[in-house]
Amino acid sequence: MPHMNYRSSVVATWFKLCFSKWQGGGCRSIYKSKVSWGKVGRNHPLSFGSDVWVKDARLSVEHRTGPEPEESYWDLKIRHVALHDEGDYQCEIIANEKTVRTVQLQIVVITIEGRKFVESAHTAYIRCNATEGDRYPEDIDWFKNGDKIDSLSYPNIVITKYRPEMTLTLVSELAIMRASARDSGTYICRSSPQLIASLDVNVLVGEFNIIRV
């Protein structure tokens, strides 16, 4: 099975869980309330107060006071966001009575895969997958060394697109027919200004000689 080079790109390197419908955002509480963050499906809380209770250096809690007296906000921050971070998060406020607020974190991601080295006159294949949370990506554009690929400028390149059933993913496949040295370069797929992934393709034009000793 040929080796495939695989790269992915997530929109943000960090994400702050907050609630825009709440005044000021974040997990809003009375100053002396006890506040914890958790992820639905986990048995243990992620944080309590300003302390993170799990072994994940990417997590932190930002505590800030609000404009009103005794008003306080607790923001859970996730750095280097990954696909497994997607899901529902809950902020639990314990005062005279317990209050639970829920927010959904959706990860938008784009991946690109293909062979990094291709023999001359062979066909090179590159695949790009884009997912944008709860909606279908509108389209995927392809570029080579910064130039947009079209059938007039790149007649030996064929691009196909499809949407797999039961998913919100858009897949685009690029085929470089009878690849030559001029086809070497950086290929980029883009579904939005934030969702971009790239792959370097090298077409090998020299003959492979076996030297026997």
The per-residue pLDDT for 210 is: 42
Architecture, CATH, for domain 108-204: Sandwich (2.60)
- Contact of 72 with 30, CB cutoff 8 Å: yes
Architecture, CATH, for domain 12-105: Sandwich (2.60)
Same fold, 12-105 and 108-204: yes
The per-residue pLDDT for 11 is: 46
Q: Which residues contact 63 (CB under 8 A, 6 or more apart)?
A: 49, 50, 72, 73, 74, 75
* Tens of pLDDT, residues 49-108: 888 999 999 999 888 776 776 677 788 888 887 778 888 898 888 766 778 888 888 778
Domain ranges of the chain: 12-105, 108-204
* Tens of pLDDT, residues 150-200: 999 999 999 999 999 888 899 999 999 999 999 999 999 999 888 899 999
The pLDDT of residue 28 is above 70? no
* Tens of pLDDT, residues 132-163: 877 889 999 999 999 999 999 999 999 999 99
Strands 71-79 and 27-30: antiparallel
Measured torsion, CA atoms of residues 162, 7, 143, 12, in degrees rounded to the nearest 10: 90
